Amino acid sequence: DQQVKQNSPSLSVQEGRISILNCDYTNSMFDYFLWYKKYPAEGPTFLISISSIKDKNEDGRFTVFLNKSAKHLSLHIVPSQPGDSAVYFCAAKAPPQGSGNTPLVFGKGTRLSVIA
Amino acid sequence: DSGVTQTPKHLITATGQRVTLRCSPRSGDLSVYWYQQSLDQGLQFLIQYYNGEERAKGNILERFSAQQFPDLHSELNLSSLELGDSALYFCASRGQSGGYTFGSGTRLTVV
């Protein structure tokens, strides 16, 4: 059962426009959410995160919005640039349990293509 | 360069064989996580080590095992390989700041 879902496998956006990538989760214990970007032949790189105590976090062109009641988060990229073309993964994490840190749970990713 | 080193980058092997994937975490990071990414799938958590001890286990098959050594590098051992084990295997390390840093992965192809 997928706890983190990215229902759009791909998204195509024109350069300069807004890209909106969506992510839904089912586990209400998740309290920290991250977005990773992945280029071919590279590992995922951290992009932006948000704690469940916030509903918005902004870093330059990237903004993540969290709607806890809907168990939904989204990543906005404005303006989109051709270099943003990559696969974007949504990830979520629950609080640590006992002596163990809980791992990140990833969605399947959305491939963003920004067309010049 | 993320600071997390994974070797080899590519591996092609036959069914039934055994392989070892290696990961060196970023300097100072004590936690190592292993993930598997199969075709069209997200990253599936396999196992976590912290300072040499296993801390969490995910969807790791019994044919797979891992360990973290005193120098903090980690190895993921995959045995009795099947075609379905073909995937990208990523290692991530986590530091005191809480950030996860991924290596560039090992692409395993089982033929």
pLDDT tens per residue, range B27-61:
989 999 999 999 878 899 999 999 999 999 998 99
Model pLDDT for residues A29-87, shown as the tens digit of each residue: 999 999 999 998 899 999 999 999 999 999 999 999 999 999 999 999 999 999 999 99
Per-residue pLDDT band for B85 (boundaries 50, 70, 90) equals: very high
Partner residue facing A43 (CB), from B55, B99, B103: B103
Q: Chain B within 8 Å of A103 (Cβ-Cβ)?
A: yes
Dump strand ranges (E) for A32-107. Answer: 32-38, 45-51, 56-59, 62-67, 72-77, 86-93, 105-106
CB–CB contact B43 A103 (8 Å): no
- In three-state secondary structure terms, A40 is coil
CB–CB contact B102 A41 (8 Å): no
Residues of A in contact with B50 (CB under 8 A): 100-101
Model pLDDT for residues B13-30, shown as the tens digit of each residue: 999 999 999 999 999 899
